[in-house]
Chains A and B, each alone.
Chain A
Amino acid sequence: MPSIASSALLKHTREQALKMPEIVWADAELDEARGTSSLSSTTGRETRKMNTYQAIRDALSIALSTNDSAIVFGEDVAFGGVFRCTLGLAEEYGRERVFNTPLTEQGVVGFGIGYASMGSKLGNSTLGGRGMGGTAIAEVQFVDYIWPAFDQLLNEASKFRYRSGGQFNVGGLTVRCPTMAVGHGGLYHSQSPEGFFMGAGGLKVVIPRSPLQAKGLLLSSIRDPNPVVFMEPKVLYRSAVEQVPTSDYILPLGRAEILTTGSDLTVVTYGTSVYRCEQAIHLLTHPPEGTGIERTVRDALGDWRRSRKGQNTSSTPTIELIDLRTILPYDLPLVLRSLSKTHRLLIVHEGPTTGGVGMQIAGDVMSGFNTTSTTNESEEDVGRMRREAFLGLEAPVKVIGGWDTPGVALQYEKFYIPDEVRILDGLLEVLAY
Chain B
Amino acid sequence: MSSLARLRFSRRVARPFIRTIQTTADTTQLQDSAHETEPFWVKIHEDSFQTYNCDKPELDVKMAADALYKAKMIRGFCHLAIGQEAVSVGLEHGITKNDKVITSYRCHPLAVLRGGTIQGVIGELLGRQIGMSRGKGGSMHIFTPSFFGGNGIVGAQVPLGAGIAFAQKYNEEATCTFAMYGDGAANQGQVFEAFNMAKLWDLPCVFVCENNKYGMGTSAERSSSNTQYFTRGDKIPGLQVNGMDIIAVKQGVEYARKWTVEDKKGPLLLEFVTYRYGGHSMSDPGTTYRTREEVQRMRSTQDPIRGLQRYIEEWGLASEQDLKQIDKDAKATVDTAVEEAKASPIPNTQDLWTDIYYAGTEPSFMRGREREEVHHY
Tell me if B371 and A411 are in contact (CB < 8 A).
Answer: no
Tell me if A75 and B5 are in contact (CB < 8 A).
Answer: no
Contacts of B294 in A (CB 8 A): none
- A103-B188 contact in complex given A75-B218, A412-B352, A425-B371, C-beta closer than 8 Å: yes
Q: How far is the CB of A406 from chain B (nearest CB, A)?
A: 6
The answer to whether the Cβ of A363 comes within 8 Å of any Cβ in the partner chain is no
The answer to whether the Cβ of B257 comes within 8 Å of any Cβ in the partner chain is no
**Chain A residues within 8 Å of chain B by Cβ, number:** 39
Tell me if A411 and B188 are in contact (CB < 8 A).
Answer: no
Tell me if B1 and A68 are in contact (CB < 8 A).
Answer: yes
Chain-B contact segment, one of A39-47, A94-102, A328-336: A94-102
Tell me if B154 and A422 are in contact (CB < 8 A).
Answer: no
Contacts of B353 in A (CB 8 A): 405
The answer to whether the Cβ of A188 comes within 8 Å of any Cβ in the partner chain is yes
List CB contacts (< 8 Å) of B347-377 with chain A. Answer: 347, 352-353, 356, 366-367, 369-371
* Residue of A whose beta carbon sits closest to that of B219: A100
Tell me if B155 and A103 are in contact (CB < 8 A).
Answer: yes
Tell me if B138 and A422 are in contact (CB < 8 A).
Answer: no
Tell me if A411 and B367 are in contact (CB < 8 A).
Answer: no
Tell me if A409 and B4 are in contact (CB < 8 A).
Answer: no
**Chain B residues within 8 Å of chain A by Cβ, number:** 43
Contacts of B127 in A (CB 8 A): 410-411
Tell me if B4 and A96 are in contact (CB < 8 A).
Answer: yes
Alpha-carbon separation in the docked complex, A412 to B346 (Å): 10
Tell me if B371 and A429 are in contact (CB < 8 A).
Answer: yes
List CB contacts (< 8 Å) of B41-86 with chain A. Answer: none
Contact for B138 among A82, A94, A132, A187, CB less than 8 A: A187
Tell me if B217 and A76 are in contact (CB < 8 A).
Answer: yes
- What mask results when residues 238 to 257 of chain B are scored 1 for a CB within 8 Å of chain A, else 0? 00000000000000000000
Contacts of B9 in A (CB 8 A): 95-96, 99
Contacts of A148 in B (CB 8 A): 188-190
Contacts of B138 in A (CB 8 A): 186-187, 409-410
- A100-B218 contact in complex given A404-B367, A405-B356, A411-B135, C-beta closer than 8 Å: yes
Alpha-carbon separation in the docked complex, A404 to B365 (Å): 11
Tell me if A409 and B217 are in contact (CB < 8 A).
Answer: no
Contacts of A96 in B (CB 8 A): 4-5, 7-9
- A411-B217 contact in complex given A96-B7, A103-B188, A107-B189, C-beta closer than 8 Å: no
The answer to whether the Cβ of A353 comes within 8 Å of any Cβ in the partner chain is yes
- What mask results when residues 184 to 200 of chain B are scored 1 for a CB within 8 Å of chain A, else 0? 11011110000000000
Alpha-carbon separation in the docked complex, A100 to B184 (Å): 12
The answer to whether the Cβ of B136 comes within 8 Å of any Cβ in the partner chain is yes
Alpha-carbon separation in the docked complex, A96 to B10 (Å): 11
* Residue of A whose beta carbon sits closest to that of B367: A403
Alpha-carbon separation in the docked complex, A405 to B351 (Å): 11
- A145-B367 contact in complex given A187-B141, A188-B140, A410-B138, C-beta closer than 8 Å: no
- A79-B289 contact in complex given A96-B7, A96-B9, A102-B187, C-beta closer than 8 Å: yes
* Residue of B whose beta carbon sits closest to that of A106: B189
* Residue of B whose beta carbon sits closest to that of A189: B152
Tell me if B1 and A132 are in contact (CB < 8 A).
Answer: yes
Interface residues of B (CB under 8 A from A): 1, 4-5, 7-9, 127, 135-141, 152-155, 184-185, 187-190, 215-218, 222-224, 288-289, 346-347, 352-353, 356, 366-367, 369-371
Q: Can you list 25 residue pairs at the A/B interface with Cβ under 8 Å?
A: A69-B1, A69-B4, A75-B215, A79-B289, A96-B4, A99-B9, A102-B223, A102-B224, A103-B155, A103-B218, A148-B189, A148-B190, A186-B138, A187-B138, A187-B140, A188-B152, A353-B367, A403-B367, A405-B352, A405-B356, A405-B366, A409-B352, A410-B138, A411-B136, A412-B347
Q: Told that A68-B5, A403-B366, A405-B366 touch, could you supply 8 new A-B pairs with CB distance under 8 A?
A: A69-B1, A79-B218, A103-B184, A104-B188, A106-B189, A404-B366, A411-B127, A412-B352
